[in-house]
Amino acid sequence: MPERARQTVPVVAVVLAAGFGTRFDPSNPKQLVCIADKPIVCWSIEAFEGNERVSDIVLVVNPKVRPAVESLIDEQGYGKVRIVVDGGAERADSTAAALNVLSEAAIPSDAKILIHDAVRPFVSQQAVDDSIDALDQFSAATVACASTDTVLLTRDAGDRKVVSAVPDRADTFRAQTPQSFRFSTITRAYELAAADPDFHPTDDTRVVVDYLPDEPVAIVAGSETNLKITTLGDIPTAELIAAGLNASR
Amino acid sequence: MPERARQTVPVVAVVLAAGFGTRFDPSNPKQLVCIADKPIVCWSIEAFEGNERVSDIVLVVNPKVRPAVESLIDEQGYGKVRIVVDGGAERADSTAAALNVLSEAAIPSDAKILIHDAVRPFVSQQAVDDSIDALDQFSAATVACASTDTVLLTRDAGDRKVVSAVPDRADTFRAQTPQSFRFSTITRAYELAAADPDFHPTDDTRVVVDYLPDEPVAIVAGSETNLKITTLGDIPTAELIAAGLNASR
């Protein structure tokens, strides 16, 4: 596909930085913690700011960190960050807030939307490019890593979990981000999910898989370095990855 | 349940050390690599040798390392190791070889069999005890960790994997070992599997789940320190865990 064809639609990165992460450090939200002297949220913004195929960035924050994040954006001069949106209580509320803003901005229905967790600061350019490319063939895609462990699916049996199935290991993946969608696909899936009072999505891919079951979601190869920083115990590994990335640049 | 009742049946640990692990270091089989100055296979044997509820150990090796392993057993004086069995080409062949030896020894059908991968050297006494206890309520149990990542189940679509389902994260676990069974349960499952030419089990729990679907397999809590040593990249983490264990003893 010629380069021009790929670039006829906007490519929008939605960076979700709305989690409070108080398990982490109540006085210092996780997104603002520095790894190799750079706040986690800046690592994530720069992954898209520095990719020439990404046209725009929407940043979703919790209101408490908004002033700090806006200062960082000004200081660093991140020119692609078009808007900073307040997130909601759940991850899905934050995605929905970003989709609303994009609807109000009347972006084209075939725009490519890359939804990324800010706490995965080391996403590779390969994964970003492959996500953008996958949307030429599919309307939805997710970065994921093949599981090296056998996965067990379970059900409740009294106060215990028991195994209900053991899928083939070759067909089990661990989801990462970005999770990428044509704009019309993700907005349609969220509309259907919003009409279902029983649904509390924790993952954008699942919204498409459950509400648009005929829409295949492609797997894009992730990597172990695309670490999700969840607890303080993840910091030493994150520092090692950051040092490796800084050394290779 | 009173202590005496628990101890009326043999508790046999089957330690599988038959993998060649040539990805690792062709000239030094993985099981003989030292972590904190102790060969990996010795860490695993000692997890069961040191548990007073375990009565017997069957060690499954590949013939190339048999002399080295037998020397280690003699040197260390592991009194519970009853027999060293040659393993087979696949993991399931090694389990089957151990089950054959136990059949020939005419162990009781309700004996408790704990099947453990030697390359998980840091299994906790808690996990071993909980596995033995679980078999008072269930005929099968496996140590496993709750998945912290969303698991995606996939299918092939041309040269790509696409997502077929996203199970609830609370019902996804990563299998570890030991995987534990009443002797009659695991032998019956293996008999049924052996009669099916299409089946190539890679996991003992799966043999029970697939061939004895009415037999619930209980989840026993594992831990991140019950690491599987697969590549050289796992060694630094293994050394940290070993140092922590040695310091806490």
- In one-letter notation, the amino acid at residue A130 is D
Q: Report the C-alpha gap between A101 and B77 in whole angstroms.
A: 70
Q: Report the C-alpha gap between A202 and B173 in whole angstroms.
A: 17
Residue contact A218–B160, C-beta within 8 A: yes
Per-residue pLDDT tens for B86-129? 998 888 899 999 999 999 999 999 999 999 999 999 999 999 99
Q: Which of B162, B209, B210 sits opposite A217 (nearest CB)?
A: B162
The pLDDT of residue B175 is 97
Angle at B61 between CA B56 and CA B63, to 5 degrees: 135
| Range B202-229 average pLDDT | 94
**Would you say residue B149 has pLDDT above 60?**
yes
User: Which of A120, A139, A163 is most worth mutating to test chain B (most B CB atoms within 10 A of its CB)?
Assistant: A163
DSSP H helices in B38-84: 40-49, 66-76
B2 — pLDDT class (breaks 50, 70, 90): very low
**Would you say residue B151 has pLDDT above 50?**
yes
The pLDDT of residue B236 is 86
Burial of residue A46, with CB atoms counted within 10 A of its CB: 0-12 exposed, 13-18 middle, 19 or more buried: middle
The pLDDT of residue B27 is 67
Burial of residue A52, with CB atoms counted within 10 A of its CB: 0-12 exposed, 13-18 middle, 19 or more buried: exposed
Per-residue pLDDT tens for B27-83? 678 889 999 999 999 999 999 999 999 999 999 999 988 999 999 999 999 999 999
The pLDDT of residue B72 is 96
* Locus of tokens 């299409």: B198
The contact set of B with A (CB < 8 A) is: 138, 142, 144, 147-155, 157, 160-167, 169, 171-176, 202-203, 205-206, 209-210, 216-219, 228, 230
The pLDDT of residue B231 is 84
Q: Report the C-alpha gap between B165 and A124 in whole angstroms.
A: 26
Residue contact B152–A169, C-beta within 8 A: no
**Would you say residue B22 has pLDDT above 60?**
no
Q: Which residues of chain A have pLDDT under 70?
A: 1-7, 20-27
ipTM over the 0.90 cut-off = yes
Q: Report the C-alpha gap between A241 and B4 in whole angstroms.
A: 52
Q: How far apart are the CA of B184 and the nearest CA of chain A, in angstroms?
A: 19
The pLDDT of residue A48 is 98
Q: How far apart are the CA of A138 and the nearest CA of chain B, in angstroms?
A: 10
Residue B172: list chain A partners with CB under 8 A: 151-154
For chain B, list the domains and their CATH numbers: 8-145+172-242 (3.90.550.10)
The pLDDT of residue B193 is 93
Burial of residue B229, with CB atoms counted within 10 A of its CB: 0-12 exposed, 13-18 middle, 19 or more buried: buried
The pLDDT of residue A4 is 46
Q: Report the C-alpha gap between B57 and B127 in whole angstroms.
A: 17
DSSP annotation of B231 reads S
